[in-house]
Structure formats: C-alpha cells, structure tokens
Amino acid sequence: MKSFDRKIVLEDGREFYGFGFGSTNDRVLEIVFNTSMVGYQEVVSDPSYTDQMVVFTYPLIGNYGITDEDFECKNPSIGAICVYDYNDFPSNFRSTKTLSELLEENGIPGISGVDTRCLTRIIRDCGSMRVLITNANTDREKAVELIKSTPVPHDAVERVSCKKRWYSRTSNPKFNVVAVDCGIKLNIVRSLNKFGCNVTVVPYDTPADEIEFMKPDGVFLSNGPGDPQDVSPVINTVKKLKGRYPIFGICLGHQIISLAYGAKTYKLKFGHRGGNHPVKNLSTGKIEITSQNHSYAVDLSSLEETPLTATHINLLDKTVEGVECVGDRIFSVQYHPESAPGPQDSSYLFERFVEMMREAKENA
C-alpha cells in the first residue's frame, strides 16, 4: 500500500496526511472550501483563488481532465488544491491533459486522500485559516512556526492583473467597453463580446484619464483576489469616473464600487464559494441561483451614508449581493453572472449594462 508523502498543517497544529500530485512546492496559504459539484478547471484557473488552498467538498476530482477551451485565465495562480479522490485517468473526448499535469506546469501543489468532510467542517466552524502544504516528514512545530512567520500578502491583484492592455473583438460591435483587470475571468470577456461589446482589458492601475482617452461607452470592474481595501488605485479610478460613464462591477469590482462611495467592507468567517447560493433580487422578488467566490462582503449598514442602495441579498446569511446608484449609472453584484449556474438566471445583468450604454449614447 502506498504511504502518505504529503500533508497539510493548519495554523493551530492539526495535520492531514495525503498523497501529492501536481507540483511538490511547499506553500503557506489561506485554506478555503468550494462546494461546486463540477467546474474544477474553472476553479483552478480563477485568479480570485490566488494565495488560497481550495478544499473541494465534491469527492471526485480530475475525472474529466482539462480542456483547452474552458480556462478562466491564461496562467493559473491558485495556491493549491485538496481533494478526497483524485482521478489521473480522465474520460472525456475534449480532454487534452490531466489536472495533475496542469498543476505541475504551473507550480501548483495538490494533495489527495484527505478527509475533506472533516477539513471543511473545521473551516466552517473555526473560519478560514492559514496552512502549510508540505512533505509528510516535515516537523509539525517548525511548520506552525513557518506559518506564523510568513507575512500575509497584500499584492495579489498586482500579481494577477495584466501588465499591458489587450483586446477582445466581436463581430458587428455596438459598444466599446474598458475592463479594469483585477484578475478578470475570461468568460466575463466572452460574455461582453456576446452582448455586442468590443472589450479593451487594461491593468488594474490604469489612471482614469487614460481610460477616458480611450473614449469607452462603459467601464467594467472585474473580480479578483484579496482584500478590496488593498486595491486603492482602482478605488481612486472609480471615484474619478463615477457619473461619467455607465459602470458595472462583479465580485471584487462590487466591493471596490462600494468603497469608492464611502461604504465599508469586512471579511466573512469562511467566505462564499460554490455554485448554488440563492440570491434575492429586491426589485423583482425573484430568486437567482448564483456562483460565488469571495472572502469579503459589503457592510449593509454602511450603505446608509452613501448614495448606493442594496439591490440583491443573499438568502443564506443576508449579506449584500448587489448595489446601485441610478443617478450615476453604476451598479454591481457580488456573485458571478457569467458562470451560468442557473444557468441563465443572471444574464440580464449584462443586458442591463448594454442598455445603460445605449441610453448614454442616445443622450450624449
């Protein structure tokens, strides 16, 4: 019987042994869990998971391999993954490589054979915490000491954002959108293309005057990793552009818009990560089944001192899932409409953004 060769050490000293796959790097990370039953490739390639180890609650991972067309970014930056049962022999006619091969190519460690139910309950009860993924023979006390001495990174957006602008064109375009890249998922760009938008993706620290020079019909603020308060360049950009262009934000972009208007954000105990979160649209009363991936949320009470109003509420814990300022033609949601968990519950948000740009052009 194969013996354990890797382990996870939690910051409180608890250990979980397993079998390594992918890269064999040692890393200190934040541990979180994702409850999605499918979509592990999209999770692994989502830049919002930078510096995080993701525990998959669904037990079978790797069974349909990796497909070239399904990536959410070009260079996966997830910290590590932890699974119960890893399959290295995928059955899928679209598959081009295994999950382990993808992880190895990008220096991302993986561990299997772990009791993910127990680990998930620890995260749920104790909250997200820091961990070390390392060799099975690493001394526990030294591992805990390393976790405590490793500084928490605050430059995740800077690392995952593009370094220069790039373009995504569509046939018969009606609008030009500038998308601020804080760790943008490629399906967001594809969704904007689908709704008739040419998209110019720019680095997160692109100044407001440079965006204005591009003469956009609308501005999009993307998802991304880390604490929204660390992304002050984008917050300042929103302050300068609000009211001048239709603006739409998703996930981190939602939090950045709220901060730009003077609201506050806070860290959730264990975050929202999965494809089945029920969200209520307060204007229609309809319930949307949403895909989510975030550690931070907007403080509902702090919205009272701003021009923003809450538009959506999470039915599980009553956190803010959407805000808007009608006068400034700006709105945002905490969840991911491009992930299609409903599968079409939230596509109206892109339609709304397009309609705002159409009205702005007609009234110009």
Active site residue 338: yes
Active site residue 336: yes
**One of 251, 254, 277, 324 is an active-site residue; which one?**
251
In the beta sheet, which residues pair with residue 320? 313
Active site residue 251: yes
**One of 42, 321, 324, 338 is an active-site residue; which one?**
338
Interior angle at CA 271, CA 265 and CA 272, nearest 5: 110
Residues involved in catalysis: 251, 336, 338
